Amino acid sequence: GAVVSQHPSRVICKSGTSVKIECRSLDFQATTMFWYRQFPKQSLMLMATSNEGSKATYEQGVEKDKFLINHASLTLSTLTVTSAHPEDSSFYICSSDGGQTDTQYFGPGTRLTVL
């Protein structure tokens, strides 16, 4: 299947700083990528849909000014958590449809810890 990578895999930052997470499609072009968040012992929650060359579409309740998404190329989408606070500590996961319409491939996730 298609391969999606994320960087970094783990990040620890101080409260008030911004953190950028990269999501790359390694062997295909990803017009659309998705960003999820997962708190401990909970399921994945879709945060936003990232579209190459256009603005992201955010799910209800997700602050677009806090979670900045950029999808400037067909192989890279970035999620920036601005002015991070401890409650933003979570597991962030991206995914893509792998160039197909009927399946989805997930990245390995990024563990964010805000002190």
CB of 83 to another protein, least distance (A): 26
Residue 15 amino acid letter: S
Footprint of another protein on 25-54 (CB under 8 A): 32, 34, 36, 43-46, 49
Torsion of CA 80, 84, 89, 95, to 10 degrees: -10
Q: Which is nearer to another protein, 49 or 80 (CB)?
A: 49
Residue 101 binds another protein (CB under 8 A): yes
How many alpha carbons fall within 13 Å on the CB side of residue 28? 16
Q: What tokens appear for 32 in the block?
A: 């659309």
CA distance 87 to 85: 5
Residue 89 binds another protein (CB under 8 A): no
Q: What tokens appear for 46 in the block?
A: 């879709």
Stretch that binds another protein, among 14-22, 66-74, 76-84, 99-107 (CB under 8 A): 99-107
The residues binding another protein (CB under 8 A) are 1, 4, 6, 32, 34, 36, 43-46, 49, 91, 93, 95-97, 100-109, 111
